[in-house]
Structure 1
Amino acid sequence: MNIVKPESVALFCLTPGGVQLAKRLSGLIPMTCFTSQSLLEPGFTAFHGTLSHTVAEVFNDYSALIFVCATGLTVRVIAPLIKDKFSDPAVVVIDDCGHHAISLLSGHMGGANALTGYIAGLIGATPVVTTATDVNQLAAVDILAQQLNATMTDFRQTVKKLNQLLVCGGRVGLYWDQTSLASIKMRWPEEYCDTRGLVLVADLDDLPELDALLYVSLRDSVPEVPVPVYKLVPRCVVAGIGCKRDTPPSTVANLLSRQLAGLHIDPLALRAIGSVAIKRDEPALRHLANQCCVPFEIFSVAALAPAAARFPVSEFVKRIVGIGSVSQPVAWLMSNGRLVGDTLRTQGVTITLGVSC
């Protein structure tokens, strides 16, 4: 999922007017500005040959590309490079005089719609956004997922189906499963989420008339209700893991699955795994992070020591690592103290889960 970051923006301009506009924008947003050799000014980078060649070289190096030129030219330049909206950078086009800012590519997942609005506000341009949910003033399921750092099974097709249903006047319910966070007394950040057009459901036993239900939950199951249910799973569960050296990767993976299942947590909820610095190159942990497509976060003994004082001491672990436990203090730091369930200890592996939302 590609989210625009200010430090990862490239701008391409082809005319003296475009250069002046680029200078205005670069003073407001950190960016790399490209232009032709003949228009080069201090702080700008020259094209590597042609515009098309330059864009092809850097297309995947930035999270957002801004073109100060004609929309048609931009389309021809980027057409051979486009893959899908989940990996393409945001692309915004601005006319030479700065009258219009157009969201051209990756409006939702890439953040082009938001960037377009922001740029328009900076330079006094009219923002042009054409995605159907936006122009109909409706929430988009992919934006809601982005706001919650969430995912779902068959994400692309499900998002397409639900957004289309919303645009066509369908009634899509939204239910926040607060009980899945009850053990740590947390709530979903409902007030920060765009829910326009969604039917908010307070009681699953008293459903209004719906065509589908969007169920926000960490649980590994969905409720039995008389409408199709699509579960949106926030990625907020973290796992602190300690293990003996050269533990088989399959052992750690199976035990993590067992720990999640024991707490009825959907595996899609996993946001990251973590361990102590001495385990930074442990094959089983690196393999697990790759398998689950999550970051592997490591912590120094010094960083873990204050949290480790909260938990029982293993003399063996203390002798090897320098602190009396690993999985619990790691999970404590990763979740800001919001641990869930008991620590699993078996086969030379310890796993502690936490929730970081």
Structure 2
Amino acid sequence: MDIKYIYITEKSKKLCEKISSFFEGEIISYSQFKNHSKKIFNNADFLIFIMATGIVVRSISELLESKFTDPGVIVIDELGKNTISLLGGHIGGANELTLKISKVINSNPVITTATDINNKGSFDIIVKKINGYVDNFGELSLEINSGLLKGISYKLFIQNEYKSFFIEENGKYSNALNGFDVEFISKEKIETIILYIDKSVEFVDRKCIFITDIDLNNIKNNNAYFNMGKNLSINIDLKIDKCFNTGLKLCEKNIIIVIPKLNVLGIGCKRYTKARDFENNVIEYLVENNINISSIKSISSIDLKKDEKCILEFAKKYNIETHFYTKEEISNVDSLYEKSNFVKDSIGVYSVAEPSCHISTDGNVISQKLKKNGITISIGRKLKL
């Protein structure tokens, strides 16, 4: 996290120093902030002002653009009596950090977000927790959060692989789930439910939210009976009445898909591999594993490949990060995977794809690698952000 602590008085500076010993960040004066306010505002994850709220509001008012992009802003009085989540409570993470800071300095946390003060979860926090992608994010956040405050209970299916993001250390559900009707289920059951959609039947009363990395297009293309205008007869290991409190089938408009962007590809390939061949092999691998390409957070490989055109073009096309590791870093874990003496003689490590994936995911490689046409692909999943 890039945290900027901003002070005016010497007393407020000391409080900055105290808090930064728990939550590391850069301490700057208010005059420094004023001189470079736009740059600092646009590049920080959090701005923590130790001063009067009025000063802060006037200082940042012209910098604000969107709650989906602005940093979290917290204000603390110089005596440390009140810690106020001013902006970016959910998406910016200000509410969560406000609670943490208030504990270490024994202050009064001031949070005014409607869902929080009413002990309700929120759609935007759920999406943030899994670095998710969803269409119409802003509109859905407003609609669902408002619905929760009105007492509407939305069905929330979470793919089992992402359960850890929503369970606290004490085994309880995260507060972000308060008010949702939650069920953790397998990928197979999610596929079955999605296939049960029937556009011709009357809408159900509530929206159903799915957190999954399944490639829905792959499901449709591989099911000859998937047709939104026809009834589907599917034997499912799931009681529809229990899941939806209704015997009606789902309507497409009541399905919300949130795709966690947490999967990582480990890549090894021959020099000058053609971009089209590379893309075709990666897509084939994802289809075989039924994983949506939108769930890929990053591509990892050895630093010898940091200028490999096929990797860079693919990453740019699909808006994917790239991470390249040194031979020393890869050699620390390459013994855990299948060894190739040819690769060792060529570049100094026994393998690239799986060890690179291993490093990026803290060892959570989730499927067998694919070796084809001089390209090796591995996939893993980050279990924490």
Shorter-chain TM-score range: 0.7 to 0.9
1:264 maps to which of 290, 298, 301: 290
CA distance in 1, matches of 2:286, 2:212: 14
Asked whether 1:14 is paired with 2:38, we answer: no
Identity %: 26
Change (3 A) 1:202 1:33: closer
Within 5 A, what are the aligned runs for 1:169-188? 169-178=151-160, 188=164
Within 5 A, what are the aligned runs for 1:82-121? 82-121=64-103
- What SS class does the counterpart of residue 74 from structure 2 fall into? strand
For 1:10, give the aligned amino acid: K
CA distance in 1, matches of 2:45, 2:135: 25
CA distance in 2, matches of 1:25, 1:309: 41
- What SS class does the counterpart of residue 175 from structure 1 fall into? strand
2:272 counterpart residue number: 246
Deviation at 1:323, TM superposition (A): 4.1
Contact 2:354 2:369 in 1 (8 A): no
Contact 1:331 1:339 in 2 (8 A): no
| 4+ residue runs over 6 A deviation | 202-206
Tell me the alpha carbon deviations over residues 236-261 of structure 1, each in whole angstroms, 9 at most, x when there is no partner.
Answer: 32212122222233432333222212
1:313 counterpart residue number: 340
Change (3 A) 1:210 1:334: farther
1:191 counterpart residue number: 167
Tell me the alpha carbon deviations over residues 281-325 of structure 1, each in whole angstroms, 9 at most, x when there is no partner.
Answer: 21221233333333322233344445357326374x444323454
For 1:219, give the aligned amino acid: I
2:206 counterpart residue number: 211
1:327 maps to which of 353, 363, 385: 353
CA distance in 1, matches of 2:179, 2:266: 39
Greater mean deviation of Cα atoms: 216-225 or 231-240: 216-225
- What SS class does the counterpart of residue 60 from structure 1 fall into? helix
2:367 maps to which of 325, 330, 340: 340
Contact 1:240 1:351 in 2 (8 A): yes
Asked whether 1:132 is paired with 2:114, we answer: yes
Change (3 A) 1:200 1:25: closer
CA distance in 1, matches of 2:274, 2:11: 61
For 2:88, give the aligned amino acid: S
Deviation at 1:187, TM superposition (A): 5.6
1:229 maps to which of 250, 255, 274: 255
Query: What is the alpha-carbon root mean square deviation over aligned residues?
Result: 3.2
Deviation at 1:57, TM superposition (A): 4.1
1:42 counterpart residue number: none
Tell me the alpha carbon deviations over residues 322-341 of structure 1, each in whole angstroms, 9 at most, x when there is no partner.
Answer: 34543244334444253315
TM-score, length-scaled by structure 2: 0.74
For 1:345, give the aligned amino acid: K
TM-score, length-scaled by structure 1: 0.79
Change (3 A) 1:330 1:122: closer
For structure 2, the residue ranges without an aligned partner over 5 or more in a row are 169-173, 197-203, 221-231, 233-248
Deviation at 1:77, TM superposition (A): 1.0
Change (3 A) 1:220 1:159: farther
Contact 1:307 1:333 in 2 (8 A): no
Contact 1:343 1:350 in 2 (8 A): yes
1:280 counterpart residue number: 306
Deviation at 1:215, TM superposition (A): 1.0
| Equivalent pairs, count | 329
